[in-house]
Every structure is written in structure tokens, then in C-alpha cells.
């Protein structure tokens, strides 16, 4: 348990890659191996920032308040993020972004 808490404090992914792949496959998300992020589909700085806040557990409204924008704007960022990374969920976006070093964990 302490190892998990320390890993979370360092911002590390708490699930092993094999477990994350199984979770994503059951929730309809893409696995990192299935996702191809091309050079022209990289995330903007703002999209990376939004995804980074999500990886910390922030909700849309919290991210919107941090960035001084509306919750609708945050949802628009997620639509773009999902399309660029070829995923359908926040968890999938975080996993793919970390695997492709678009955000740090």
C-alpha cells in the first residue's frame, strides 16, 4: 500500500501496463499498442496541460477554473485530444499520452 501511495505522489501510473490494457479493452478505450500518434497529430501545449490536470485527478470544472476558461472549452479540448490520440476515454488519453511522452507521468 505504501508503494502505491508513493507512486501516486510521484505522479506515476498506478496500474501495470498489462492491467491498464485489460481495463481499457473492457471500457472501449484504445490500448497504447493500437494507437498511432503521427507527428502532425501532436497535442498543443494547452491540450497537454489539460490532459496533465486530468492525470492528477482534476474534473472539467476544476481545470476550467485553473485555466480561466469555461467548462465547455475544456470539453472541446477533450474532443480534440480524443480525436488526435484515437481514444474514447480520459484513461485512454492519459495512457497514450504517457506512452508517447506527450505528457509526463
- pLDDT digit string (tens) for 62-74? 999 999 999 999 9
**CA nearest to 98, candidates 9, 11, 3:** 11
Enter the pTM of the model.
0.61
Q: Show Cβ contacts of residue 34 under 8 Å, excluding neighbours closer than 6 positions.
A: 86
What three-state secondary structure class fits 59? coil
CATH architecture of 2-99: Orthogonal Bundle (1.10)
Task: State residue 100's pLDDT score.
Answer: 80
For 57-86, what is the mean pLDDT?
93
Task: State residue 80's pLDDT score.
Answer: 92
Higher local confidence (pLDDT), 84 or 10:
84
Task: State residue 49's pLDDT score.
Answer: 92
Task: State residue 76's pLDDT score.
Answer: 94
Burial of 47 per CB tally in 10 Å (0-12, 13-18, 19+): buried
Reading the block at residue 22, the C-alpha cell is 485489460
Task: State residue 67's pLDDT score.
Answer: 96
Amino acid at each position: 500500500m505504501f508503494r502505491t501511495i508513493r507512486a501516486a505522489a510521484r505522479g506515476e501510473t498506478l496500474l501495470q501496463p498489462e492491467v491498464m490494457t485489460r481495463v481499457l479493452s473492457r471500457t472501449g478505450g484504445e490500448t497504447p499498442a493500437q494507437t498511432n500518434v503521427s507527428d502532425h497529430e501532436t497535442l498543443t501545449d494547452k491540450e497537454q496541460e489539460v490532459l496533465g490536470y486530468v492525470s492528477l485527478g482534476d474534473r472539467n470544472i476544476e481545470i476550467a477554473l485553473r485555466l480561466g476558461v469555461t467548462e465547455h472549452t475544456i470539453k472541446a479540448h477533450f474532443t480534440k485530444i480524443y480525436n488526435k490520440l484515437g481514444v474514447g476515454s480520459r484513461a485512454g488519453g492519459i495512457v497514450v499520452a504517457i506512452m508517447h511522452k506527450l505528457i509526463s507521468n
